[in-house]
């Protein structure tokens, strides 16, 4: 009896154990198949995943900050963000691969993406440096026709890294949603579209070969010398610290397979240049942007959300310019631009902000930058520092690009690295010699006629802008205009700016000081200095020389601490840096050859100037009281 009882207990125990194992295994199967394998990082582009200019990682490792103004959208039960070519999310500026959670020898990626416009090097998510033969990192992306998965590993390293770009067999259709996935198992790369294998390569092996520093970024491809933004949309991206099986990838696709069955969206005209601000007054401001094809121009705006006012221009255009008027002074407004093409596509920005000009008694600040030519990486870095200081407006002292007739420079080297600032802070430019008086300058800026010289007021200051490429001699158009305008100004502060310097300690722009002498400045500009002194100008800003210089107060060709004018050269926005004469000039107060910007704060009868280098460090300041 006891033997039979023990046998029954043993049989029951075995049955129970088998049952529990079966149930547990079934639970694991359901978990993997029903809810999907657990990702090490997950980014969802919805109202919860993106908030307060941040993108959250559900795992908490890799949250990112917003670039540009991607737009939140909903379609049926799906939420996603649309990107306009100027947008993205930066997870880490300089990733090394040593960060916890970064992929190495075995990993998978799965995403839902819509490509509305192809590009040479498109990025969905990645961390790469691809500079000539220097090829390191990884990328899930696309080109003008197909999706691709790019990695560089230690097993294929030829000394400075070597990438394999695995392209999908199928081409994508613009405006259509796709589930794009990729895996790497230490010896084999695979790419999948809508749950099906689309390509495989065994060229790479071992762990990912990371650069010492590369941007870890979503929604664009970026490295040291290239930057391509996504025009399309993202719903989600998942990073797995394991290799998903074909069945698991198919399952991640099936979860939202209805997206892939949607008809392609009408292709938008797309933002060539995202919205930016022009010429604020106490009661008005102008919003500008450019689209890739002719489209309508509408701006929705208001002091609160949802936006309850709108302004529009009739007809279709490429460069859009919409004036908002009858605004309140010193007031924060929200705005959003929208363009509709003839084919039905809609380009819509995110919700942005601007502030109208302050009243005369209010304090205000502005920043100064110059010579942003041919160095978009440094220009972007300096513009970011300016944005962090939240000025009321930006003054640009010329050479906004290196070659004025080259439209690509305006798009890629001026607006693209500056748009995060310019979409919220208006810029008042002056024309430099590198613009070559090209129509692009007049098309991209909305200024009072004739645009190459003009006047504006802000707070208790008047600003006078000149074109120093043209003659400023007595009885010329600008000379006569400036004398009239200065004589009628009742402002507490009078500030003039133009591109070329009246006084400069540089080494060779106005004579090679290493072997001879120098004019110590531009003779054309020097001819108008007597007007500055006659009418009580306080400060004069210029660029042209790629350095920083602040003079001692000057009047009548001598130092005058009481009535003298301070001249500031601020040419450190990106152009190749220049040098100073080997011996000090009689007017030098402070000099520095470095990338930089200035900030001026005016509070009633007190003016404060600060100069910051490209790391944000203060290196000069100066005060004036009246």
pLDDT of residue 345: 74
Distance CA 578, CA 561 (A): 29
pLDDT of residue 341: 85
Distance CA 157, CA 160 (A): 7
In a domain, 454, yes or no: yes
In a domain, 31, yes or no: no
In a domain, 322, yes or no: yes
Neighbours of 252 (CB within 10 A): 23
In a domain, 15, yes or no: no
284, 331 contact by CB (below 8 A): no
Judgement on whether residues 619 and 500 belong to the same structural domain of the protein: yes
CA dihedral of residues 303, 306, 309, 315 (deg, nearest 10): 130
Judgement on whether residues 102 and 162 belong to the same structural domain of the protein: yes
Judgement on whether residues 293 and 311 belong to the same structural domain of the protein: yes
Structure tokens at 602: 């005016």
Judgement on whether residues 544 and 568 belong to the same structural domain of the protein: yes
Write the CATH number for 311: 2.60.40.10
Structure tokens at 108: 């998978």
**H or E stretch including 41?**
strand 41-44
Structure tokens at 156: 């294929």
Write the CATH number for 448: 3.60.21.10
Structure tokens at 47: 């109202």
Strand order in the sheet with 122-131: 50-51, 54-55, 64-67, 88-95, 214-218, 122-131, 134-142, 146-152, 163-171
Judgement on whether residues 257 and 275 belong to the same structural domain of the protein: no
Instruction: Using the Cα atoms of residue 496, residue 502, residue 505 and residue 509 in order, give the sign of their dihedral.
Output: positive
DSSP three-state, residue 411 = helix
In a domain, 8, yes or no: no
pLDDT of residue 32: 34
Non-local CB neighbours of 394 within 8 Å, separated by 6+ positions: 366, 367, 368, 369, 386, 421, 422, 425, 426, 427, 428
Residue after which a domain boundary falls, among 336, 355, 374 = 355
**How large is the C-alpha radius of gyration of the chain?**
30
Judgement on whether residues 247 and 309 belong to the same structural domain of the protein: no
How far is the first Cα of the chain from the last one, in angstroms, to the nearest whole number?
A: 112
Q: Which residues pair with 137 in a beta bridge?
A: 128
Instruction: Using the Cα atoms of residue 198, residue 204, residue 205 and residue 209 in order, give the sign of their dihedral.
Output: negative
In a domain, 17, yes or no: no
DSSP three-state, residue 127 = strand
pLDDT of residue 348: 85
Write the CATH number for 46: 2.60.120.200
Closest alpha carbon to 387 in 66, 623, 83, 603 = 66
DSSP result, 559-594: E-TTTPBEEEEE--SSSPP--B-SS--TTEEEEE-S
Distance CA 583, CA 551 (A): 15
Judgement on whether residues 191 and 322 belong to the same structural domain of the protein: no
Q: How many domains does the chain have?
A: 3
490, 502 contact by CB (below 8 A): no
Structure tokens at 73: 């959208």
pLDDT of residue 36: 66
- Work out whether strand 539-542 and strand 493-497 pair parallel, antiparallel, or are unpaired: parallel
Judgement on whether residues 341 and 439 belong to the same structural domain of the protein: no
pLDDT of residue 119: 86
Range of the domain at 282: 271-355
250, 242 contact by CB (below 8 A): no
In a domain, 481, yes or no: yes
147, 132 contact by CB (below 8 A): no
111, 237 contact by CB (below 8 A): yes
Residues of the chain under the 70 pLDDT cut: 1-36, 268
pLDDT of residue 205: 97
109, 239 contact by CB (below 8 A): yes
Structure tokens at 53: 């200019």
Place of tokens 């009896």: 1
pLDDT (tens digit, 9 = 90+) per residue, 187-221?
Answer: 999 999 999 999 999 999 999 999 999 999 999 99
Beta strands in 45-103 (DSSP E): 50-51, 54-55, 64-67, 71-75, 78-84, 88-95
pLDDT of residue 533: 98
Non-local CB neighbours of 552 within 8 Å, separated by 6+ positions: 559, 561, 564, 566, 587, 588, 589
Judgement on whether residues 318 and 393 belong to the same structural domain of the protein: no
pLDDT of residue 270: 76
Place of tokens 């120098």: 518
pLDDT (tens digit, 9 = 90+) per residue, 313-333?
Answer: 999 999 999 999 999 999 999
In a domain, 25, yes or no: no
Judgement on whether residues 62 and 201 belong to the same structural domain of the protein: yes
600, 583 contact by CB (below 8 A): no
pLDDT of residue 397: 98
Judgement on whether residues 409 and 468 belong to the same structural domain of the protein: yes
Judgement on whether residues 112 and 194 belong to the same structural domain of the protein: yes
Instruction: Provide the whole-model pTM.
Output: 0.75
Distance CA 363, CA 393 (A): 13
Distance CA 167, CA 201 (A): 10
**H or E stretch including 253?**
helix 246-254
pLDDT of residue 75: 85
Give residue 177's region: left, alpha or beta (phi > 0; psi -120 to 50): beta
């Amino acid at each position: 009896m006891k033997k039979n009882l023990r046998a029954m207990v043993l049989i029951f125990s075995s049955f129970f154990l088998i049952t529990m194992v079966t149930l547990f295994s079934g639970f694991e199967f359901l978990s993997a198949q029903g809810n999907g394998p657990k990702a090490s990082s997950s980014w969802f582009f919805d109202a919860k995943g993106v908030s307060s200019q941040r993108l959250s990682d559900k795992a908490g490792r890799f949250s990112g900050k917003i670039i540009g103004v991607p737009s939140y959208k909903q379609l049926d039960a799906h939420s996603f963000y649309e990107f306009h070519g100027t947008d993205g999310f930066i997870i880490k500026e300089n990733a090394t691969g040593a960060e916890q959670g970064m992929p190495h020898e075995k990993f998978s990626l799965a995403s839902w993406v819509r490509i509305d416009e192809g590009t040479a090097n498109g990025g969905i998510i990645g961390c790469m440096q691809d500079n000539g033969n220097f090829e390191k990192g990884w990328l899930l992306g696309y080109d003008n026709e197909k999706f691709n998965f790019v990695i560089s590993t230690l097993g294929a390293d030829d000394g400075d890294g070597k990438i394999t770009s695995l392209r999908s067999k199928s081409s994508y259709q613009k405006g259509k949603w796709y589930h794009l996935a990729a895996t790497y198992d230490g010896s084999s790369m695979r790419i999948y579209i809508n749950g099906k294998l689309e390509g495989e390569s065994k060229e790479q092996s071992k762990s990912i070969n990371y650069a010492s520093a590369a941007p870890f970024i979503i929604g664009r491809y970026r490295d040291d010398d290239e930057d391509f933004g996504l025009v399309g949309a993202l719903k989600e991206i998942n990073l797995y610290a394991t290799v998903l099986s074909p069945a698991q990838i198919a399952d991640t696709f099936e979860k939202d397979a209805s997206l892939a069955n949607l008809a392609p969206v009408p292709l938008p005209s797309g933002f060539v240049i995202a919205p930016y601000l022009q010429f604020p007054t106490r009661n008005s401001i102008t919003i500008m942007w450019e689209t890739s094809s002719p489209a309508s121009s509408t701006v929705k705006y208001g002091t609160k959300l949802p936006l309850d006012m709108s302004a529009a221009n009739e007809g279709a255009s490429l460069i859009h310019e919409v004036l908002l008027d009858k605004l309140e002074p010193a007031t924060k407004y929200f705005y959003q631009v929208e363009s509709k093409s003839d084919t039905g596509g809609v380009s819509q920005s995110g919700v942005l902000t601007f502030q109208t000009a302050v009243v005369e008694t209010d304090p205000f600040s502005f920043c100064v930058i110059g010579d942003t030519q041919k160095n978009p990486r440094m220009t972007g870095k300096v513009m970011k520092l300016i944005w962090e200081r939240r000025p009321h407006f930006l003054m640009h002292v010329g050479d906004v690009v290196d070659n004025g007739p080259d439209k690509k420079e305006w798009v890629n080297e001026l607006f693209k690295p500056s748009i995060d600032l310019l979409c919220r802070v208006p810029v008042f430019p002056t024309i430099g010699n590198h613009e070559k008086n090209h129509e692009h300058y007049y098309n991209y800026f909305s200024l009072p006629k004739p645009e190459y010289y003009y006047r504006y007021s802000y707070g208790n200051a008047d600003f006078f802008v000149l074109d120093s490429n043209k003659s400023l001699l007595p009885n010329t158009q600008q000379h006569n205009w400036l004398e009239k305008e200065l004589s009628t100004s009742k402002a507490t502060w009078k500030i003039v700016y133009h591109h070329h310097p009246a006084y400069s300690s540089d080494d060779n722009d106005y004579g090679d000081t290493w072997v001879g002498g120098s004019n110590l400045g531009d003779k054309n500009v020097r001819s108008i200095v007597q007007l500055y002194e006659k009418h009580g100008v306080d400060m004069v800003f210029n660029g042209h020389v790629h350095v920083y210089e602040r003079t001692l107060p000057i009047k009548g060709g001598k130092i005058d601490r009481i009535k003298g004018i301070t001249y500031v050269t601020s040419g450190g926005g990106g152009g190749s840096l220049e040098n100073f004469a080997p011996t000090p000039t009689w007017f030098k107060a402070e000099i520095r050859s470095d990338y930089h910007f200035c900030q001026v704060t005016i509070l009633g009868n007190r003016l404060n100037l600060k100069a910051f280098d490209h790391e944000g460090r203060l290196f000069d300041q100066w005060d004036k009281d009246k």
